[in-house]
Structure formats: C-alpha cells, structure tokens
C-alpha cells in the first residue's frame, strides 16, 4: 500500500471514530452546587459577580463555527493602506446552540432586510466594535462578568464592558425622559423571581454580532430566578412592534464567579477605538 493510501485510510478511520464518539456519548447535564439559596429580607439574594457562558454575543440563534466575516475566506480587518490583516482561527466564530426560544426571530420584512444589511456591513455598524454601550439584554451575555448590588431600597448592576451601569428602581418612575443605550428600568418580585421591566431605549444597540437589532419601541422584561446558591435562570422577553411581529424570548443560565478574589475588572475600551474611529482625521496618519 502506498504511503498516500495509508494516510487516507487513517484520516477516514479517525473521522469515523470521532463521529461515533459524538453520537454515542451521553448528554452532559450541568451540575448545580447543592445548598440553600441565600436570602436578603426574605427574598433571594442576588448580590455577587455573575457571568453567562455561551456564544450568544456572536449570534443569539443557533450557528455553526465560521469565519467572523462569512462573505470572505477568513476573518480579516481592513486597514488604511487598503491591505488586510488576517486573524485566522483567532477571529473565527465558535459554534453555539442559540439562546432564543424556538430559535426563531419573528422579524417584519423591513426588520429582516435591515438585519441582512447589518450582516453585510458588520465592521462598519456593530456598536460593540466602536465601544458603544452594550444595551439590554446584550450586556448580560457579553463575555465579561457583571456585578449585582441588591438592597431593600434599590438594585444596581455594574458591567465590566465599557463601564456600563444600570440603576433598577424598586417602583415604576414613569416614562423615560430621553432614550438611552441602557434604558430605564424598574423591578417587581413575583414570588422568588426578580422581574425587571425596561424601556426608553434608543435604536442603536444590537443583540449580537450577527446584526440582530431592535427599534426605539423595544421593551424588555427580564426574569432572574435563582436555582441554587451559584446559579440564576435568566430570561428576557423582547416586545418590539417596530421590528418584530410578536414578542419573543431568550433564556440562559448565569453562573456566579466563585474563584478566590473574584472581582469586577475594568474594560474601558474607548481608548482602544480612538484610532479606528478618528485616526483618519490626523494631519499625519500613524504608520
């Protein structure tokens, strides 16, 4: 047998073995740490550092691994010299099962057309690239932790990405005076579930890097339900008649950061994008 044939047979055998392993392996279920849910004034105590572990920031719907820019042979970024910098696997998108209930986004025809335009112009349009505030609910599942500070008077959420914050009022303060990236939020309790109602958003934030978007009419209802001392079941219902034909929901677990000395870091990314956004205005561009 020739060497090339041996290699071909080996590759086929390895692929078959890998396929069998994937098909026959038992499903892995997440294991919650046993213990009582901590409480504050009789309600679940959400205080702590939390983080989502998923690929929703890439795409909230199910997706396979692919280049960051699917229309090109690999993840690349244009530079002023009209050349490209290839990032290979570093800039690729990992696969994900999605977080949208039913894996369907009920766009209006106009809303779907805008999403497709966003995808085609991702580098120029995605607000994350320009370090704009992440919006809600995207701030929850970006690959950065966030800290919930809860008291009987109010709840405050600090996000590592871009120094974003949210003040969640215990009573409805009325309509927002101006639209904003993070909106205006107030809370209620439904049994042991912390429910946050948010509105007053601008139309600039996205749900992910796949171009999924919303209008200024969006209202978000978030539900935080502790299922253990270190786990929260998070749900967000999106109601936006300006972009979608009906409300829809996403859900995911949130995990407490339990490593020693866990703390909220800083990712003040404005300085990282100054050259990207304003470098062309330099009298003498950087080499």
The residue extents of the domains of the chain are: 39-53+108-281
What would the pLDDT profile of 154-170 be if each residue is shown by its tens digit?
A: 999 999 999 999 999 99
Give the per-residue pLDDT at 152. Answer: 85
What would the pLDDT profile of 196-211 be if each residue is shown by its tens digit?
A: 999 999 999 999 999 9
Measured at the CA of 73, the angle between CA 70 and CA 75, to 5 degrees, comes to 70
Residues 69, 91: Cα–Cα separation, whole Å: 9
- Would you place residue 277 in the very low, low, confident or very high pLDDT band (cuts 50, 70, 90)? confident
Nearest Cα to 122, choosing from 55, 182, 212, 37?
212
Nearest Cα to 207, choosing from 176, 161, 238?
238
Q: Which CATH number fits domain 39-53+108-281: 3.40.30.10, 1.10.3720.10, 2.60.260.20, 2.40.128.20?
A: 2.40.128.20
What would the pLDDT profile of 58-95 be if each residue is shown by its tens digit?
A: 999 999 998 876 434 344 455 454 455 567 788 889 99
Beta strands in the chain (DSSP E): 39-40, 43-44, 48-52, 76-78, 84-86, 146-150, 155-159, 165-169, 184-190, 193-199, 219-228, 231-239, 248-256
* Residues ≥6 apart with Cβ < 8 Å to 117: 211
Give the per-residue pLDDT at 282. Answer: 83
Single pTM value for the model: 0.83
Residues 91, 67: Cα–Cα separation, whole Å: 7
Question: What number of other Cβ atoms are within 10 A of residue 32's Cβ?
Answer: 13
Higher pLDDT, residue 44 or 286: 44
Residues 111, 245: Cα–Cα separation, whole Å: 10
What would the pLDDT profile of 243-257 be if each residue is shown by its tens digit?
A: 999 999 999 999 999
Give the per-residue pLDDT at 240. Answer: 98
Phi/psi of residue 267, nearest 5 degrees: -135, 70
- Would you place residue 143 in the very low, low, confident or very high pLDDT band (cuts 50, 70, 90)? very high
């Amino acid at each position: 047998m020739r060497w090339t044939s041996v290699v071909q047979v080996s590759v086929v055998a390895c692929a078959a073995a890998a396929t069998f392993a994937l098909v026959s392996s038992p499903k892995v279920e997440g294991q919650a740490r046993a213990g009582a849910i901590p409480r504050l004034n009789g309600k679940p105590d959400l205080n702590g550092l939390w983080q989502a572990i998923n690929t929703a920031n890439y795409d909230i719907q199910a997706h396979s691994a692919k280049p960051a820019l699917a229309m090109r042979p690999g993840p690349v970024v244009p530079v002023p010299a009209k050349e490209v910098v290839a990032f290979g696997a570093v800039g690729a998108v990992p696969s994900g099962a999605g977080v949208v209930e039913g894996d369907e986004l009920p766009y209006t025809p106009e809303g779907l057309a805008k999403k497709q335009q966003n995808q085609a112009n991702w580098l120029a349009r995605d607000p994350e690239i320009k370090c704009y505030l992440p919006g809600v609910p995207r701030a929850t599942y970006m690959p950065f932790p966030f800290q919930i500070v809860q008291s009987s008077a109010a709840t405050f959420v600090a996000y590592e990405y871009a120094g974003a914050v949210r003040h969640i009022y215990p009573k409805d303060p009325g309509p927002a005076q101006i639209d904003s990236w993070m909106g205006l939020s107030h809370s209620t309790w439904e049994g042991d579930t912390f429910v946050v109602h948010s509105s007053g958003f601008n139309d600039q934030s996205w749900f992910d890097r796949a171009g999924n978007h919303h209008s200024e009419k969006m209202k978000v209802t978030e539900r935080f339900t502790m299922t253990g001392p270190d786990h929260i079941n998070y749900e967000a219902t999106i109601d936006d008649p300006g972009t979608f034909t009906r409300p829809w929901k996403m859900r995911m677990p949130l995990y407490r950061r339990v490593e020693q000395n866990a703390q909220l870091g800083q990712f003040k990314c404005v300085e990282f994008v100054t050259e990207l956004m304003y470098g062309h205005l330099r009298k003498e561009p950087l080499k």
